[in-house]
Structure 1
Amino acid sequence: MYYSDEVIEEVRSKNDIVDVISTYVRLQKKGSSYFGLCPFHNEKSPSFSVSRPKQMYYCFGCGAGGNVFTFLMEYENYSFVEALKYLADRAGVDLPEQEYSKEAKERADTKAILLEINKLAAQYYYVQLKNEQGAHALAYLKNRELSDDTIRAFGLGYSNKYSNDLYQYLRSKGYQSEMLLKAGLVSMDERQGVYDKFWNRVMFPIMDANSRVIGFGGRVMGDGKPKYLNSPETIIFDKSRNLYGLNRARSTKKPYFLLCEGYMDVISLHQAGFTNAVASLGTALTAGHASLIKRYVQEVYLTYDSDEAGTKAALRAVPILKDVGITARIIRMEPYKDPDEFIKNLGAEAFEERIGKARNGFMFSLEVLEKDYDLHTPEGKTDFMREAARRLTEFDEEIERKNYIEAVAAAYHVGNEDLQKLVARMAIQAGQASPARRPKPVKHQPKGKEDGIVKSQKILLTWLIEDVSIFRQIEPYITPSDFSGDLYRTVAELLYEQYEAGDVNPAKIMNHFTDEEEHREVASLFHTKIRELTTVKEQEKALKETVLRVKNHSIEVATRNLEPTDMKGLQRLMEVKSKMQDIQKLHISVN
């Protein structure tokens, strides 16, 4: 839903950033700012700064920064709207009512009821585990070496042997049979009528990222089939877009997730201190899972079972993760089957060592591929290298492909240049490339230069935010139109408007952006790392060079886009170029 700038600013201004962040991070005042240990990376010395005057935070260690909305989006992984609603509720601000169509309202009401039902069911199962009828289920969990704290943290429970136990309980709470069917907690047929879907099972509540119960997994007690049973998909439960344990793992300070196959693996790892473990929900890893993971981390360690099925599952997962930009590594459990067994037998320290020895996903796939070839014969090794070369063609980025070619060449003792030629030949055969031709000289902007311009613009915006005297010196020479890209130009326009109005407030500028990616990018503009400059003279020289670079690039872009017949445009361009001489002579004073 769209919320006006006035509403967003009211919510932001009524939630002091120091007060909000203090509920998550222990802060101590030093001068005009507050400092604490950064919640976004591991550190021993506080480098996380929160400014009450600016209503912004910034970590000098990892570069995380933004306003109160950004903090909740990063820490809680809220969307912008979720962060807005949370802070509005906290400050007692009434947000405008969202207008629903009849169908949308019915769907929203149904979702709310199903969440209530699942929450009640989870509480009911937990109570049953602690009662006499759940003694054998509790003994099972204790035999799996789970502590009371772990059982409580994951809300583990038990579904009784009686086939309509939960149904009768929920009906007594006023919920209709139709809704219980939609929740996937009961089934119905002509012979038995309505009966519980889960009975005589240890219950694992499945929660979404915000710790709302959306479904269940149940492990049968005894020899019943199936051994594990999951809730059917409902309007609140999509197996391909949720991960078990994500509600706890999302707040980890680790830069990676441990991806498991089963619920018990996740629970055992969390109990052992590996709070970044998650698992897919009784299904193979999907593109939806990968996209969800990408919201939190850029790297995944696969801890799948060490048997053939687990190996195949890991090999299927690697390209799915790669497609969304996640690096995958493989942890092998030998001589044990899974992380649960490994931890119980060798402990957390040994598992940490296995993490350190994890194999690169692509190199692991080649190790598995070796089993299909006799590498002791010339024919076998040649055929193997051809298949390896074919797989190397699947890397789109040239530098990444070259790095992997180098790694494969070293691992299998073949010449680097020979393997490069083989990869090129395989690409041609597969129609992925054309035979090499002598390149024609072309004029283009080197990527490095473009990256340098972006960095210069970010540095300049950071400087302009920091010091009004710098802004006044630069304002006659740099305008918002000199910033390339809609995002940077819009930020510059808003900043110039604020200076004109005499109310510079970077936290307010961020209200203009509600898309999560844009919000994070804008946050970085106000906290760009500027290399250490020890003297005022060095700072003034660097600032002048940055101004020249930004203006020069603006002129180059305008020149490239100028129509030959646009005489007025040419005249304007000549006037702008003449200003370059003034900038060359300009002395920018840094206080």
Structure 2
Amino acid sequence: MYYPEELVEEVRMKNDIVDVISGYVRLQKKGSSYFGLCPFHNEKSPSFSVSRGKQMYYCFGCGAGGNVFTFLMEYENFSFVEALKVLADRAGVELPEMEYSKEAKEKADLRATLLEINKIAAQYFYVQLKSEQGKIGYTYLKNRELSDETIKAFGLGYSNKYSNDLFKYLQGKGYSEDLIRQAGLINTDERNGVYDKFWNRVMFPIMDVNNRVIGFGGRVMGDGKPKYLNSPETVIFDKSRNLYGLNRARTSRKPYFLMCEGYMDVISLHQAGFTNAVASLGTALTTGHASLIKRYVQEVYLTYDSDEAGTKAALRAVPILKQAGISAKVIRMDPYKDPDEFIKNLGAEEFEKRIGGARNGFLFSLEILSKDYDMESPEGKTAFFKETVKRLIGFEDELERNNYVEAVAKAYKVSPESLQKLVTKTAVTEGMAKPAVRPKSAPSGQKPKESGILVSQKLLLTWMIEDAGIFSLIKKYISPEDFTEPLYRTVAELLYQQFDTGELNPAKILNHFTEEEDHREAASLFHTKIRELSTKEEQEQALKETILRVKANSIDYRTMHLEPTDMAGLQRLMEEKRKLDDIKKLHISIE
């Protein structure tokens, strides 16, 4: 929904950033800023800075930064509108009611009702677990060495042996058969009529990132089939876009997730202190899962079962994660089947060691591949390397590919030169030896490598908000038009307008960007790391070189996009090129 910019700014101004962040991070005042341990990466000495004057935060360690809206979006994984609502409520600012179309209102009402039904069902299952008839389920969980605290934390429950108890209970709460069916909690057939989907099972509520119950998993007591049963997909439950345990793992603030196969693996790891464990919901890892993971971490450790099925699942997961820009490592559970068994037998300390010794995902896939070849015979080894090379060609980035060539050569005791020759030869044969062309937009979930010119443009924007004197200098030579990336240009235009009115306020500019990705990208523009330069002369030279780089790129860009008949535009560009030569001769002085 669109909210007036004045209203958004009122909410921002009434929520002092130091006060808000102090609710999440312990801050200490040092000079004009406040410092604390960064909540977005692990660190031992504080590098997370919050400025009351600028109403902005910045981490010198990981580069996270933005205004009060950005912080809530990053920490709580809120959308801009969600962050705005929370802060408006905190400050007592009344937001106008959202106007829905009839269809949209019905859809929103249905989602809210299904969430209510699932919440009530979860509470019902929890109470059943603690009752006499739930003793079988409770005993099962205690035999799996789960504490009462863990059982409560994950909301575990029990669906009793009577096959329509929950249905009757929910009807008694006023919910219709149709709504209970849409929540995925009942089935119907000619023989039994309406009956509960889950009965005689230990129940695992599945929650979204905002701790709302969206579905269930159930483990049968006894020898019934299937052993594990999950809720069907509903309006609120999409298996391919949710992860079990993510609501808890996202607040662990660790830089990686432990990806498991089952509910019990996740729960056992959390109980042992590994609070960054998650699992896919009865389905193989999907691109939707990878996109979701990318919002929180850049690295995943796969802790799949050590059997053949678990190995195949890991091999499928590695390229999916890589495509999303997430590096994958594989933890071996041998001699145990899964993390749950491992923890029970060897303990948390040994599991920590396994994390430290995790295998690189690509090298692990080669390790498994090598088992299909006779590595003792020249023919078998040659065939293995030919297949390996086909996989190495998949690395588009030359540096990354060369690093893997070296790693493979070292692991399998061949010369890097001969392996590199085979890579080149195979690339030519396969028709893949051509210059890599960067796509204009990256595949879903994958961020393209940032070009040098974009870094230069970001540097100028960061310099401009740091020092009004430097802004004046840059303004002599650079206009908003020289920022070739549309979002950068919009930010520059807003900054220049503020500068002209004597009000330089980057925190306010971020209010302009309400789309989640745009907001985060805009926030990053004001926090580009400026290399430490020891002398005033070095700073002046660096500034001059950056101005020249941005201006030259701007002229080239506009020349390429100039209409052939635009003679006036061509003359302007020629004049700018002459001025560019003049700038090269100038001495730019920082006061």
1:108-257 matched pairs, under 5 angstroms:
108-257=108-257
Structure 2: state its 5+ residue gaps.
436-448
* 2:375 is equivalent to residue 399 of structure 1: no
Match of 1:419 in 2: 419
* Alpha-carbon distance in 1 for matches of 2:313, 2:551: 53
- Partner residue, 2:36: 36
Summarize the Cα distance change of 1:215–1:537 in structure 2 as closer, same or farther, 3 Å threshold: same
For residues 239-277 of structure 1, the C-alpha deviation after alignment (integer angstroms, 9 at most, x for no partner) is 111100011111222221111000010011111111111
Cα separation, partners in 2 of 1:527 and 1:136, compared to 1, 3 Å: same
CA apart distance, 1:579: 4.1
Task: Write out aligned runs for 1:287-298 (5 A).
Answer: 287-298=287-298
Describe the shift of the 1:380–1:465 C-alpha distance in structure 2 as closer, same or farther (beyond 3 A). same
Task: Kindly state the Cα deviation for residue 415 of structure 1 after the two structures are TM-superposed.
Answer: 3.0
Whole-Å Cα distance in 2 between the matches of residues 245 and 133 of structure 1?
A: 27
Confirm or deny: 8 A CA contact 1:544 1:588 kept in the other structure: no
Say whether residues 1:409 and 2:409 are aligned partners.
yes
Letter of the aligned partner of 1:505 in structure 2?
N
- Within 2, Cα distance between the matches of 1:181 and 1:451? 52
Please say if 1:589 is aligned against 2:587.
Answer: no
Question: SS of the residue aligned with 2:46?
Answer: coil
Q: Match for residue 455 of structure 2? A: 455
**Structure-1 residue corresponding to 2:325:** 325
| 2:453/2:549 contact within 8 Å kept | yes
C-alpha distance in structure 2 between counterparts of 1:342 and 1:462, whole Å: 49
* In 1, Cα distance between equivalents of 2:31 and 2:349: 41
Measure how far apart 1:481 and its partner are.
Answer: 1.6
CA contact (8 A) 2:548 2:583 kept: no
User: 1:60 Cα deviation (Å)?
Assistant: 1.4
Equivalents in 2 of 1:260, 1:107: separation in Å?
Answer: 33
Deviation at 1:583, TM superposition (A): 7.1
Deviations 1:370-428 (A, max 9, x none): 22221111222222222222222333333333322222222222233332333344445
Measured after TM superposition, the shift of residue 154 of structure 1 is: 0.8
Deviations for 1:131-166, whole angstroms, at most 9, x for unmatched residues?
222223222212211122211111111112222222
Aligned to 1:468: 468
User: Which moves more between the two structures, 554-563 or 270-279?
Assistant: 554-563
> Post-superposition shift, 1:567?
4.4
Shift of 1:335: 0.5
Deviation at 1:558, TM superposition (A): 4.2
Q: Is the 8 A contact 1:477 1:583 kept in 2?
A: no
Change (3 A) 1:292 1:582: closer
Partner of 2:259: 259
Q: How does 1:6-155 map to 2 (within 5 A)?
A: 6-155=6-155
Which residue of structure 1 lines up, in the alignment, with residue 306 of structure 2?
Answer: 306
SS at match of 1:247: helix
Give distance in 2, aligned partners of 1:582 and 1:217: 67
Query: Pairwise mapping of residues 479-558 of structure 1 onto structure 2 (< 5 A)?
Result: 479-558=479-558
Provide closer, same or farther for how the CA distance between residues 583 and 150 of structure 1 changes in structure 2, counting only shifts above 3 A. Answer: same
What amino acid is the match of 1:503?
A: E
CA contact (8 A) 1:241 1:288 kept: yes
Q: Secondary structure at the match of 1:49?
A: strand
Match of 1:3 in 2: 3
Residues 218 and 561 of structure 1: is their aligned pair in 2 closer, same or farther, counting only changes over 3 Å?
closer
Instruction: Give the distance between the partners of 2:535 and 2:374, measured in 1 at CA.
Output: 65
How far does residue 578 in structure 1 lie from its aligned partner after superposition?
A: 4.9
Query: Which stretch of structure 1 is more off in the superposition, 340-349 or 330-339?
Result: 340-349
Shift in alpha-carbon separation, 1:108–1:560, aligned structure 2, 3 A: closer
Cα RMSD of the aligned pairs, angstroms, is 2.3
Contact 1:389–1:423 (8 Å) recurs in 2: yes
Match of 1:476, SS state, is helix
State the distance in 2 between where 1:587 and 1:111 align. 60
Please give the alpha-carbon distance, in whole angstroms, between the structure 2 residues aligned to 1:571 and 1:426.
49
Residues 486 and 120 of structure 1: CA distance in aligned 2, closer, same or farther (over 3 Å)? same
Pair 1:272-2:272 in alignment: yes
Cα offsets for 1:279-334 (capped at 9, x unmatched): 00011111211121122122111100001111111111112222222211111000
Q: CA deviation at 1:586?
A: 4.6
SS of the residue 2:34 aligns to = strand
CA contact (8 A) 1:32 1:51 kept: yes
- Aligned residue number for residue 379 of structure 2: 379
Normalising by the residue count of structure 2, what TM-score does the alignment of the two structures yield? 0.92
Assess if the C-alpha contact under 8 Å between 1:470 and 1:588 holds in 2: no
User: Whole-Å Cα distance in 2 between the matches of residues 573 and 370 of structure 1?
Assistant: 59
Q: Which amino acid aligns with 1:376?
A: E
Q: Pick closer, same or farther for the CA change 1:312–1:584 going to 2, 3 Å.
A: same
How has the CA–CA distance of structure 1 residues 578 and 362 changed in structure 2, closer, same or farther, with 3 Å as cutoff?
Answer: closer
Task: Indicate the residue corresponding to 1:439 in structure 2.
Answer: none
1:320–1:57 Cα change, 3 Å: same
- Residue type matched to 1:246 in 2? L
**Is contact 2:155-2:204 (8 Å) kept?**
yes
Deviations 1:430-471 (Å, cap 9, x if unpaired)?
A: 45458x9xxxxxxxxxxxx99333222222211211222332
Amino acid at match of 2:554: S
Superposed displacement of residue 108, structure 1: 1.3
- Separation in 2, partners of 1:542, 1:426: 43
How far does residue 539 in structure 1 lie from its aligned partner after superposition? Answer: 3.1
Could you give the per-residue CA deviations for residues 517-538 of structure 1, whole angstroms, max 9, x where no partner exists? Answer: 2222221221221122334444
Task: Kindly state the Cα deviation for residue 25 of structure 1 after the two structures are TM-superposed.
Answer: 0.9
Q: 1:474, 1:377 → 2: CA distance?
A: 66
1:458–1:394 distance in 2 versus 1, CA, 3 Å? closer
CA gap of 1:295–1:587, structure 2 versus 1, over 3 A, is closer
2:454 partner amino acid = V
Q: CA deviation at 1:35?
A: 1.5
Distance in 2 of aligned mates of 1:369 and 1:76: 41
Amino acid corresponding to residue 129 of structure 1 in structure 2: L
Secondary structure at the counterpart of residue 366 of structure 2: helix
- Residue ranges of structure 1 left out of the alignment (5+ in a row): 437-448
Q: Secondary structure at the match of 2:550?
A: helix
Closer/same/farther in 2, CA of residues 398 and 537 from structure 1, 3 Å limit: closer
CA gap of 1:450–1:106, structure 2 versus 1, over 3 A, is closer
Conserved in 2, the CA contact under 8 Å of 1:333 and 1:342?
yes
CA deviation after TM superposition for structure 1 residue 577, in Å: 4.2
Deviations 1:21-43 (A, max 9, x none): 11111122223222211101111
SS at match of 1:77: coil
Following the alignment from structure 1 to structure 2, what is the Cα–Cα distance between the partners of residues 587 and 431? Answer: 50
The residue identity in structure 1 corresponding to 2:294 is: K
**SS of aligned partner of 2:394:** coil
Deviation for aligned residue 1:106:
1.6
SS in 1 for 2:300: strand
Q: Secondary structure at the match of 1:50?
A: strand
> What CA distance in whole angstroms lies between the structure 2 residues aligned with 1:347 and 1:294?
29
